Structure 1
């Protein structure tokens, strides 16, 4: 990397944004800026804070001297969104805020804009053995996925009009040390030896370790072939839910207790209690094809699923002890 280059990371204290900053601090002399909501936000050493304006991403952000932006900040998908108009709320941040930032990037001479999108742009699930590809026709079905798609389209149009180099990355479920939400819940259940009714689930799902996602993002900062492309990213090894739980259990040293409840019965029970979406994520397939990422960039996931799960579980156990 050019030591004179300045990179701004939005969502700098989030799971992905903080991972990007830690990697860049460790591997380069690039000047790093982190967009944060408060001056007291915790950032890695040698990362300079840039304060988010009161208007959020719709405000004016100091981009003087910035050559590249990694845009991780977003209004994220939530299970029980209580907003009166969820799509309007997602659009304010994920579409309007993103495009406002990108237009300011153009005005300030930023060369490359890396947008962390979502697999939800492609859809909620793929047919087994028919993975989503980067250049498939988008088919988002929820407000979050729709907002990410609209942001992608706006960025692509801006790139055509201005010459800004836009790189779009669509991650699947991201896990790694410090992961929260459902992945953390699975580790908690397994560590307690809770029996789980998922032994008969033989779906296929793509996952991506934080280290692998961050490695691709850093690759896309420099790679000339990344400009104005869309990439899928995964660990390159798809697992069923039962396989994933078994592997997490092995890493925990607590064999997973998986009961072979029929998938149709799980679906029925989830529907009755209003959790059909949870059942779809646990029992349905969602695979991505990363061949374009491999071939165009010469990129491969640097760490294996086993290595990534071991690191994730080790951090989980250390946190429990702490």
Structure 2
């Protein structure tokens, strides 16, 4: 990943620093010579394998968390920590529980950050704030009216709303980034499962899907976050993130197979058959993600910040596949 060195030196607090996005973000900021403080749950403080990084243990993330120690001397906060949607976990899907962490927790941190003199607060939200899908060729934009559907998307939208009001009330700059599905080394969930089945050579009934979906490579998202740390035009803006290239599910599988150096066996099963079967099996959400479109327009991100995704889709998939194969 080639990232321009930040123009200024910052003291950056990163929440969720030992997570999927947090680890490479910490590493990149350290490479640039920035001062990084990593906030994470107490039990995971030792799990961040980086030197020259200060770690601060944080217990439960909610509206009562004390951030005093973590915020001392900090001028930028990147808030990655969140409670995410977990399949088959009814507790994680509770809107009240998601609000406790994602809304109350974010607002409490931001309020204390503003009181501590933090200049900029970068909030990693979700494209689910925009909604669950788009018509083909009609991507979401940063200016669209939010239309979250599931509890996670609703909680992220409510957090955004609270943070924008806080920015207005306090003068602290707030930057909101809404990524779609993020992939890269260490990716889990459905993306990991797809690589597993492709590597095993299992035929998949996904050879006739002509949707379009946006994704963002981990390196590209990290690059965008770093850009937003001190870019003057980022202040109080909402940005969508992606690789700038949309793919159908079928195209993604073919490219992943090439990255894995495995022949891909895709059966051209009609979409209506897939959706009917998914409905009978209670897997409608999975069918929606595989068959429907979800596109994002990053023209505002590129134009306002002078930013372009530095890593190509194929290079990012190769890096993801290489990590998967090494760990298999």
Q: Confirm or deny a common fold (TM above 0.5).
A: yes
Where does residue 196 of structure 1 map in the other structure?
204
> Is the counterpart of residue 155 in structure 1 residue 163 in structure 2?
yes
Mapped partners of 2:183, 2:325: distance in 1: 15
- Contact 1:3/1:29, CA 8 A, preserved across alignment: no
Where does residue 46 of structure 1 map in the other structure?
52
Q: Which residues of 2 match residues 1-322 of structure 1 at below 5 A?
A: 1=6, 5-26=10-31, 28-38=32-42, 39-54=45-60, 58-61=64-67, 62=69, 63-83=71-91, 86-320=94-328
CA deviation string 1:183-202 (max 9, x = no partner): 11010000000000000111
Structure 1 residue 56 displacement after superposition:
5.1
Structure 1 residue 153 displacement after superposition:
0.3
What secondary structure sits across from 1:89 in the alignment?
helix
Structure 1 residue 55 displacement after superposition:
5.9
Mapped partners of 1:48, 1:57: distance in 2: 24
CA deviation string 1:140-193 (max 9, x = no partner): 000000000000000000000110100000000000011111111010000000
Mapped partners of 1:55, 1:277: distance in 2: 28
Distance 1:204 1:54, change over 3 A: closer
Q: What is the root-mean-square deviation in Å for CA atoms of aligned residues?
A: 1.3
- Contact 2:62/2:104, CA 8 A, preserved across alignment: no
CA deviation string 1:200-246 (max 9, x = no partner): 11100000000000000000001000000000010000000000000
Mapped partners of 1:125, 1:263: distance in 2: 16
Mapped partners of 1:31, 1:293: distance in 2: 26
TM-score, with normalisation over the residues of structure 2? 0.95
Mapped partners of 2:152, 2:281: distance in 1: 23
Structure 1 residue 30 displacement after superposition:
1.5
Mapped partners of 2:292, 2:268: distance in 1: 16
- Contact 1:58/1:101, CA 8 A, preserved across alignment: no
What secondary structure sits across from 1:177 in the alignment?
coil
Mapped partners of 1:2, 1:304: distance in 2: 25
Mapped partners of 1:290, 1:82: distance in 2: 33
What secondary structure sits across from 1:15 in the alignment?
coil
Distance 1:304 1:148, change over 3 A: same
Question: Runs of 4 or more off by more than 6 Å in structure 1?
Answer: none
What secondary structure sits across from 2:286 in the alignment?
helix
Structure 1 residue 46 displacement after superposition:
1.2
Mapped partners of 1:43, 1:67: distance in 2: 24
Mapped partners of 1:212, 1:64: distance in 2: 29
Mapped partners of 2:116, 2:275: distance in 1: 51
Q: Which residues of structure 1 form unaligned runs of 5+? A: none
Q: Which residues of structure 2 form unaligned runs of 5+? A: 1-5
CA deviation string 1:282-304 (max 9, x = no partner): 00000000000000000000010
